[in-house]
Chain A
Amino acid sequence: MTAVTRDIAVVAFAQSDVLRSTAEQSEVEMLMPVLHDVLDRTGLKTGDIGFTCSGSCDYLAGRAFSFTLALDGVGAWPPISESHVEMDGAWALYEAWTKLLSGDADTALVYSYGKSSPGSVRDVLTRQLDPYYVAPLWPDSVALAALQAQALIDAGDTDEPALAGIGARSRATDNTRAQLRGSVPQGDYVVRPLRTGDCPPVGDGAAAVILAAGERARELCSRPAWIRGIDHRIEAHGLGVRDLTDSPSTRLAAEKAGAFERPLDTAELHAPFSSQEVVLCKALGLDGNVRVNPSGGALAANPMMAAGLIRIGEAASRIHRGESDRALAHATSGPCLQQNLVAVLEGDPR
């Protein structure tokens, strides 16, 4: 980022428990308590919010225009300033951040949710692929990640025991919202070389964040998580064009967000597969001084469309609580880390 003209911070974060199934709740019924929670943390009401932006995907639950029904949970009357992205909520946050940068609003509510339980997310995700050359083969999300994992193993970047270690470390989290915690068997191959423990649990969940600018942020939060930069970049869409063992788009986004200007203490990476954490750590040059995914990351809970926003929320929460001073948050979308967003968050000096 070049000229950030306004200081903008994450001032509150809330999330639901992530569960294998929420069949007893509609999407808005799942989302609404999270919206109330995040507003309660700041004392704001819907009417106080300058801009609202959400991220979700109708294909997950097979419900057309489900995002308009989810808006019922916000209380959108009298009409609010509102937008939606058919993407992870991290990209909704990006849109809200630009809105605040422009000075059009001082506060923003960002939320996202995903209900994967009604469908088969492995198959649903095939529909985001190149419709001419790839989608007709129905390569599921695990298969594509497995091709990437094998490329990493061939390149000597990792091996199966190291991958298993990433899953085990992720699920050793104390995050009570996570779907999987503690010791989980590594299991059999799902698509070789990836085993059950290398893959994210399929779950339903929701998350919400409030952004505020300048003094408003200080009023709403004792230690705001200032967004020092955000950027997002994308790889060429052809899988066979890319070097699957690297993520130049993540590195470039991190550079543009200012991640390499000073040391980080924490990184919340959205790596749905253990092998993808290897790619990201390599691309970002993370060493042992950076604590990676204290929340457990996507291997502990991966509610589609929310897991990226949750990374930003988790990183911000650690700053709010004084457990981090400078954190990187990452979100991804698409097959094999196709598109990547990086945000750098900082707390005021203590």
Chain B
Amino acid sequence: MPEVLKAPLVVEFPFTRSLGPVQSAFLTGLRERVVLGVRTRDGRTLVPPVEYDPVTAEEIRDLVEVAPTGTVTTWAWNHEPRRGQPLSSPFAWVLVRLDGADTALLHVLDAPGPDAVRTGMRVRVRWAEDRVGAITDIACFEPYDGDPAQPTGHSGEFEAPVTGIVAPARLDYTYSPGRAQTAYINALADRRAVGERCPSCRKVYVPPRGACPTCGVATSEQVEVGPAGTVTTFCIVNIKAKNLDIEVPYVYAHIALDGADLALHGRIGGIPYDQVRMGLRVEPVWTEGGRYPDHYRPTGEPDADYEIYKELL
């Protein structure tokens, strides 16, 4: 078996989320070092506050301040902090029921070791220095042996309340393309386009994905196709993609390589964008060291007859 191809793949995205009135008040409160809960009709105080009663689904808006001190209801010792977690040295995950609240808040506790943590221990909020209106405005909790702090009875009304959060997310993967695409990519490195034929319907797929989507069976017979092909359809791109060093407008096309039963896509160059047409005959253009064609350019042959490629649109 050939060596498995691998490449790092990073999926990174900032989620911009708007806040409802209760979430806005809670997160703005954290910015101002005030912890707010929300009262349900039956008199329970939920911290962190939600906008709908988890039992009755009733809309709830009655904000009430609770103390920044509280009691650990359960904990778990994390000796190996992971990326993104609030503390970089070992810490305890904790659920904390703040004084005045009936439910518990998930956060972390800065403690010297697991022997210093127990359910029922008293803790207080350690505020972050820079606070923006986010759950991370609580830097962490810390052990506390004083009396419950007294809330000031804050109304939940603030100047310049936060109305949204931006939650960055990043996940790291090691991408492997699988058997069929590995063979395709390896052949491309030798400047050859190699598809796979379905044993049932005999269609040749380029690039191959390992299965015939019509028949639901594995493809395996390798078939070299191209290098030239026919533009079956195309579009003109007028918006410059981020990090893409190509002048707009340019043409992106479906190209049926000779011998293939499925069109692949690629950029068309070497011809003004407004002269590209269906049936145009093209060939790949390779750059030095490139593992795939940089683009396709006209071969100069007469255009292909529509009848030849009409099934490949």
Contacts and interface: CB of A to CB of B under 8 A. Distances in A.
Interface of A: 23-29, 32, 35-36, 46, 59, 61-63, 69, 71-77, 118-120, 122-124, 126-127, 131-140, 143-144, 146-151, 154, 189, 191-194, 236-241, 244
13 contacts: A23-B176, A25-B178, A28-B209, A29-B180, A32-B211, A72-B211, A118-B176, A133-B48, A136-B167, A137-B136, A236-B54, A238-B50, A240-B103
A28 B213 CA distance: 10
B114 A192 contact: yes
A238 B176 contact: no
Interface stretch (B105-113, B147-155, B229-237, B247-255): B105-113
A145 to B, nearest CB: 8
Contacts, number: 193
B136 to A, nearest CB: 6
Given A69-B209, A138-B85, A151 B73 contact: yes
Contacts of A126: 84
Contact of A72 (B9, B93, B209): B209
A3 B176 CA distance: 48
B6 A136 contact: no
Contacts of A144: 93
Contact of B214 (A29, A75, A241): A75
Most buried by B among A126, A134, A148, A192: A192
Interface of B: 1, 4, 6, 9, 11, 15, 17, 19, 23, 27, 46-48, 50, 54-55, 73-79, 82-86, 93-95, 97, 103-108, 114, 119, 134-136, 165, 167, 169, 171-182, 209-218
Contacts of B79: 189, 191-192
A21 to B, nearest CB: 9
Most buried by B among A75, A124, A140: A75
Contacts of B95: 147, 239-240
Contacts of A63: 175
B106 A139 contact: yes
Contacts of A72: 209-213, 216
Given A131-B17, A147-B93, A73 B216 contact: yes
Contacts of A241: 46, 54, 103-104
Contact of A123 (B94, B171, B181): B171
A238 B46 contact: yes
A189 B80 CA distance: 10
B6 A23 contact: yes
B210 A29 contact: yes
B46 A150 contact: no
Given A32-B211, A76-B213, A192-B79, A132 B135 contact: yes
Contacts of B135: 132-134, 136-137
A146 B27 CA distance: 27
Contacts of B179: 24-26, 29
A132 B215 CA distance: 45
B171 A143 contact: no
Contacts of A135: 167, 169
A77 B93 contact: no
B117 to A, nearest CB: 9
Contacts of B46: 238, 241
B213 A77 contact: yes
Nearest to A194: B76
A126 B119 CA distance: 24
A119 B209 contact: no
